[in-house]
Structure 1
Amino acid sequence: MAATDHTRRTFGALTLAACALPGVMPAAALAEEAPEHSLVAVKMSGYQDKQPGLDRLSVKSPSFYLLTPLGRQWAVEGSLTYDDVSGASPRYYTDVSGASRMHDDRVAGDVRLTRYFERQSLSIGLSHSGEHDYVSNALSITGTHASEDNNTTWNAGIGLSRDRINPVNELVVDERKRTVEWQVGVTHALSPLDLVQGTLTWSVGKGYFSDPYKLFDERPRERNSGVLLLRWNHWSPALAAAVRSSYRLYHDSFGVQAHTVELNVEKPLNAQWTLTPSLRYHTQRAADFYVDPVDDVNVYPGPNGTPTYVSTDQRLSAFGAFGLGLKLAWQWSPAWGADMKLERYEQRADWRLGGQGSPGVDLLKALQWQIGLSHKF
């Protein structure tokens, strides 16, 4: 969980951030100067999605974040999150039963120690996530180097994760998954009003990638993926607002290729209040071994013949999706801040760009909300 991102940017003193390795490294930005103050933040977030005739999944997640300097050259930060998950599994897609009720909880935490030098920083992070059928542990090392004029920052990192899977249906027992991620990136201040960033991440995973709760789900035991992320932040004097845009290209060895574009505008309303609307569009190609569901609700979906790899997981289908969000932040003193965020998400097969989406897949609607409070001391 990141602290409140209410930022009244002074672009003559830009903070150059390093992107985090997805799924392994925390998403906190790294600066080349140790923080002067401690920061504590608490958040409560929720998620709920539904398909036609089925309120499917509900998640509630309280979380806690702490960042504190240790002298003038060190800092430590950490977060703790609890997820309470309840709802129903998608009809005819799980090995437990069609539309069965389910409940699960997850506890996740991470800690990161950073050493700051004159123009460099070096961080090491540890994280742990545990639920009754899935345990994950990860280690990450990241480094940054800033140019003498502080207009450019290079970053590089490596992340290692080890997962253990023990599903309650005992389809598999004590399965393992290992992932190694590498990342390189650069952030550059083009002008006093423009900040650009490019990051390339490559991931190699080996082990158990199948979903033990889905019928006809047998995936390769190796998944390699690459991500190219481009960002452009611009301060618009005409709007008196910070305009942030990003493009993300994803491709993996399963055959999934995805494009995601996002735009948000952070508009200060006055000295205390900031409003940030956002828009996101995602489109993707289906995995090579994805099988479309059948129209007959009395028949379970299944492949023709006996293919080596197959999956009916809707997340591996071809679809398009839009996310529309609004965030309101209140910074009523230099030490105290609060924020509220709401996002509406909708996924449809026929919203895929550049071709027809996967037929027979129900639309998915989701609502996310978050409230947070932060204190600097």
Structure 2
Amino acid sequence: MPETSPRSLCAAALLLPGLAASLVQAQSPPERASLSLRLADYRDWQAGAERMSAQSPAFRLLTALGEATAFEANLMHDAVSGASPLYHDTLSGASGKGVNDHRTAGDVKFTRYFGNDALALGLAASSERDYRSRAASAEWRHWSQDRNTTITLGLGGSDDRIDPVNGLARGSQRHSSEVLLGLTQVLSPQSLLQANLVLGRGEGYFSDPYKPLDKRPQTREHQVLQVRYHHYLRPWDASLRLAWRYYRDTWSIHAHSLEAAWHQPLGKGWWVMPGLRYYTQSAAWFYHDPPFPSGWQLGAIYSGDTRLAAFGALAPSLSLGRDWGGGWRSDLRFEAYRQEARWRPGSGSEGFKGLRARMFSWGLSREF
């Protein structure tokens, strides 16, 4: 095999199937515009009873505006229905009629390229019956002269307003900000490595307004470290994708996520990708299994929300896709998800009720 010059490493890696698309961001505006549609259907259940379901169509447009600018827009609509977790009904005063809500979210991003640098500015908004969010972001990327190393610096902020239909905490607000520092490195024509560090802080209303006894701290700081590695295996014409994510915050939650996927071309434009994700987290310091902790007093910091409990989770997935030619591509994805207290190393929350979920999604895209 002839020696590959350092300057051609990135170009060589980008040509390998399934290797670089999700790690290496574009270093110039797209040569062709693309429009994509994704339909998703999600359902979860608990203790033998179906709980929540959601259907989510999403659209994405990516195109060049001139020779040095790219424009990206996303639009999504969620339709959510179902019931609260079984053991929260009395605590929340839920009527038993369940939840029926709709959410519309969208974002736009402009990216301007300057030689070895790019500046991206974005705006996002989300609205539902009892919640509204507005966000803005800025991202600067710099490539080394050989284009094999990318440094990323990002800033983001959001303002949220909560207006629950039960009248509790109406008009409450939350303000959040994040800083991102990232490094993407082409290690060889077959390997890519990416590491991101995120620091964030939020202030305001974090409690669940539909559970009157739920009261959480009004500040939350978090740190996230994520490492991803993609490697092309020539004997199988396939790529291995590995990822690790660590999260911690001032609520005493520490979480790890490990993920592996295998992208395998099948010929005639077809590909398949099985994957497996494992997740584990510790409980927030103020989480207690319902109904109440010993010595609890009205107005004390407390939550029985199982998202703040200690548990482990497994999520196997399978994706199948095809490049149909003429710029058309499609894929079908299935993911199963299960949470259990016993799947956390050490021990999980004793009163944690396991949860199961599944999600189907179908995507179609066209370049033109």
TM-score, with length taken from structure 1: 0.90
Equivalents in 1 of 2:337, 2:20: separation in Å? 30
- From 62, 68, 76, the equivalent of 2:57 is 62
Give deviations 1:186-231, integer Å, cap 9, x for gaps.
0001111110011000001000001111242100000000000001
Amino acid at match of 2:60: Y
Shift of 1:271: 3.2
Residue equivalent to 2:339 = 347
How big is the shift at 1:43?
1.0
Whole-angstrom distance in 2 between the partners of 1:158 and 1:286: 28
Secondary structure at the counterpart of residue 187 of structure 1: strand
Query: What code does the residue aligned with 1:74 have?
Result: T
Query: Is 2:181 the partner of 1:181?
Result: no
**Partner residue of 1:225?**
222
In 1, the alpha carbon distance for the partners of 2:173 and 2:134 equals: 12
1:11 is matched with 13
Offset of residue 98 of structure 1: 6.8
CA–CA distance in 1 between the matches of 2:235 and 2:256? 30
Instruction: Determine which of 252, 256, 276 is the counterpart of 1:259.
Output: 256
User: How far apart are residue 309 of structure 1 and its match?
Assistant: 1.1
Deviation at 1:13, TM superposition (A): 5.6
Alignment deviations for residues 45-64 of structure 1 (CA, whole Å, 9 cap, x no partner): 01100001310000000111
1:40-119 to 2 correspondence within 5 Å? 40-93=35-88, 95-97=92-94, 100-119=97-116
- What's the counterpart of residue 3 of structure 2? none
Match of 2:155 in 1: 158
Deviations 1:242-278 (A, max 9, x none): 1110000000011110000001111000131010001
Q: Residue 92 of structure 1 contacts residue 301 of structure 1 at CA under 8 Å; is this kept in 2?
A: no
Q: Is 2:31 aligned against 1:36?
A: yes
SS at match of 1:11: helix
Stretches of 4+ aligned residues off by more than 3 angstroms = 12-19, 300-303
- 1:341, CA displacement in angstroms? 0.3
Aligned to 1:313: 305
CA 1:349–1:126: 2 relative to 1, 3 Å: same
RMSD: 1.8
Tell me the CA shift for residue 96 of structure 1: 3.8
**Residues 207 and 215 in structure 2, CA contact (< 8 A), matched pair in contact too:** yes
Counterparts of 1:265-284 in structure 2, within 5 Å, are 265-284=262-281
Query: Is 1:291–1:303's contact at 8 Å kept on the other side of the alignment?
Result: no
What is the letter of the counterpart of residue 189 of structure 1? V
Residues 100 and 90 (structure 1), Cα distance of their counterparts in 2 relative to 1, 3 Å cut: farther
- Unpaired runs of at least 5, structure 2: 1-10
Q: Which residue of 2 aligns with 1:338?
A: 330
CA pair 147-46 structure 1, distance change in 2 beyond 3 A: same
Q: Which residue of 2 aligns with 1:190?
A: 187
Contact 2:35 2:366 in 1 (8 A): yes
Judge conservation of contact 1:41–1:375 (CA < 8 Å) in 2: yes
The answer to whether the 8 Å contact 1:303/1:310 transfers is: no
Shift, 1:31, TM fit? 1.7
| Structure 2 residue matching 1:238: 3-state secondary structure | helix
Q: 2:283 aligns with which of 272, 283, 286?
A: 286
Residues 1:364 and 2:355 aligned together:
yes
Partners of 2:126 and 2:14 in 1: how far apart?
39
Cα pair 2:14 2:21 within 8 Å, conserved: no
Deviation at 1:301, TM superposition (A): 4.4
Partner of 1:296: none
Aligned partner letter, 1:97: A
Q: CA deviation at 1:305?
A: 2.4
How many percent of aligned residue pairs carry the same amino acid?
41
Q: Are 1:119 and 1:147, in contact at CA under 8 Å, matched by a contact in 2?
A: yes
